[in-house]
Amino acid sequence: MSDEHQETTSEGPLPVASIDDPHMREAVGNPRRAENSIALFLVLGILGVGVFGAAYVQNWKPWTLGVSLGLGLFFLGFGLSAWGKYLMPQGPFSEARHALHSARAEREAISAALVERTGVVIRRRGMLGGLLATGFGIFGIVAIFPGLRSLGPLPGLTLTKTNWRRGSLLVDANGRAIHRDTLDPGGIVTVFPAGYEDNTQSQAVDQTVLIRVQFTDLVTEKGRATWAPEGYVAYSKLCTHAGCPVGLYERQLRLLVCPCHQSMFNIDDGAVPEFGPAPRPLPQLPLYIDALGFLRAQAPYDQPVGPGYWERTTT
C-alpha cells in the first residue's frame, strides 16, 4: 500500500510469534464459555433472518419484516464482533509509523522539475501560453450559457405579476364563485381568479385568502375605503417572509398566522405583521361586489406578492 518506499519493513526477519505468547491468547479468560455464547448469538441470528424470509413470503405486516431482519442481523453482527473481541489474539499489537515526508533531495527534485521546466519550456513561449489561457477563459464563459442559461427563463418581471386582473371573479379551489352570502362573519376561504383555480403554477402565486370580518364595509387602511365591501377582505396568502401559505386564521384575535415561522398578520389593520419574522404586510386585494352579488377584484395587487428579493422596488 502506502509503504512502497519504506523498505525497512522487509529488511529484518518477518515477525513470528509463538502460539503461547501472551499476545496470542484469547482476550477472554474463559474461551469455552465465550465460544458457546457466540454460537448461541449466531444461531439466533440465523433464526432471525430465516423468519424474515418467512415473513416476506407470507407477506406479513411490514413491522415483522423490520424486526425479524433487524434482530437476525443484530445477532449475527453481535456474534461476529464478539468473536473478534473475545476469541482473537488479545495483543496489543503495533505497527511502526514512518514519517510521511520524503528526503530533502526528493523535495528539491520535484521543486526543481516544476520551476526549471516552467522557465525553460513554458515561459519562453509566453504568447502560446497567453493564447491558450484566452481560449480556455472564453470557453469557461461560453460554457456558462448551456450550463446555466438553458436551465430556465430569466426572471424578468415574472415575480411582480399574478393572474389577478381588474374584474377577476373570485372562485374557490373547486371553481365556485364567491357570492356576498357565501361566508358569514368569521368565515374564511382560499380564492383564486376564475379560470386559474385548477392550475398548480398559478395557484402558487395567485393564492389569496378571503375572510369575512363583518357585515359592513371594512377600512383596513387610509385610501382603502372601498377595498373590503360588506366586510369581505382579501389578502395574498403568500407569506412575505419565506413564501409559505399563511394558512391559519385566529378568529378571536383576527390574526392570520403562518404555520412555517409563526408570523402573524392583523387582518383589521392591513395585514401588518404583529409578530414573527415577516417584514411586510400581506398585500391586500381590492374587491367589489358585482351586480349579481359576486365578489370580484377591483384591480390587481398593487405590489409583488410573497417574500423579498433584490429586484423588488417597493416597500
Partner 1 sequence: MSLAAPRTKRQAKSARGSYGRVGQVIDELDDRLGIAKGGRVFLDKIFPDHWSFLLGEIALYSFIVLIATGVFLTLYYVPSQTEVIYHGAYAPLRGLKVSEAYASTVNLSLFVRAGLLMRQMHHWAADVFLGAIVIHMARIFFTGAFRKPRELNWTIGLTLLTLSLANGFIGYSLPDDLISGTGLRIMFSIVLSIPFVGTYIAFWLFGGNYPGTVIIPRLFIIHVLILPAIIAALIGAHLFLLVRQKHTQFPGKGRTADNVVGSPMYPTFMAKTTGYMFMVTAVLTVLGGIAQINPIWQFGQYQPAKISYAVQPDWYMGWLDGALRIMPSWEFTAWGHTIPFVVLLPAVVFPGLIFTICYAWPAIERRFTGDNDIHHLLDRPRDRPKRTAAGAAMIALMLTLLGASATDVLANFFQVSLNEVLWTFRILVFIVPIVVGVFTWRICLEIQGGGADIGKRKRALIVTRSATGEYRTVETAPQPDDQHEELEPIEVPVKIDMTESDGDTAGEPGVRTVSR
The contacts of residue 250 (CB under 8 Å, 6+ apart) are 256, 257, 264
149 touching partner 1, by CB under 8 A: yes
Q: Which of 278, 282, 285, 287 binds partner 1 (CB under 8 A)?
A: 278
- Contact between 80 and partner 1 by CB under 8 A: the answer reads yes
Q: Which stretch binds partner 1 (CB under 8 A): 24-32, 103-111, 124-132, 290-298?
A: 24-32
- Confirm if 83 and 113 have CB atoms less than 8 A apart: no
User: Between residues 3 and 290, which has the closer beta carbon with respect to partner 1?
Assistant: 3
Distance CA 178, CA 196 (A): 15
Q: Which stretch binds partner 1 (CB under 8 A): 135-143, 178-186, 211-219, 305-313?
A: 305-313
Q: Is 37 in the site for partner 1 (CB under 8 A)?
A: no
Judged by CB under 8 A, the residue of 11, 20, 181, 184 near partner 1 is 20
- Collapsed DSSP state (helix, strand, coil) of residue 26: strand
- Give dist(CA 305, CA 203) in Å, integer: 12
Phi, psi (rounded to 5 degrees) for 295: -85, 135
Tell me how far, at minimum, the Cβ of 204 lies from partner 1, in Å.
Answer: 4
Does 29 engage in binding with partner 1 (CB under 8 A)? yes
Mark the segment that binds partner 1 (CB under 8 A) among 109-117, 144-152, 177-185, 282-290: 144-152
Regarding 83 and contact with partner 1 (CB under 8 A), the answer is yes
Smallest gap from Cβ 8 to partner 1, in A, equals: 11
Distances from the Cα of 45 to the Cαs of 60, 69, 70, 110, in angstroms? 19, 9, 9, 56
Give the range of 23-31, 132-140, 210-218, 221-229 binding partner 1 by CB under 8 A.
23-31
Buried b (16+ CB within 10 A) or exposed e, 288-305: beeeeebbbbeebbebbb
Q: Using CB under 8 A, which of 35, 46, 64, 221 touches partner 1?
A: 64
Choice from 92, 126, 146, 223 touching partner 1 (CB under 8 A): 92
**Helices 62-86 and 31-58 meet at what angle, rounded to 10?**
160
Q: How many residues lie near partner 1 (CB under 8 A)?
A: 105
- If the CB atoms of residues 1 and 291 are measured against partner 1, the closer one turns out to be 1
Those residues whose C-beta lies under 8 Å from the C-beta of residue 164, and which sit 6 or more positions away, are 193, 206, 208, 285, 297, 300, 301
Beta bridge partners of 248: 257
Helix (H) or strand (E) holding 249: strand 248-250
Residue closer to partner 1, measured from CB, 207 or 220: 207
| Interface positions, 178-207, toward partner 1 (CB under 8 A) | 190, 192, 200-201, 203-205, 207
Cα angle at 286 between 283 and 292, to 5 degrees? 145
Q: How far is the CB of 146 from partner 1 (least distance, A)?
A: 12
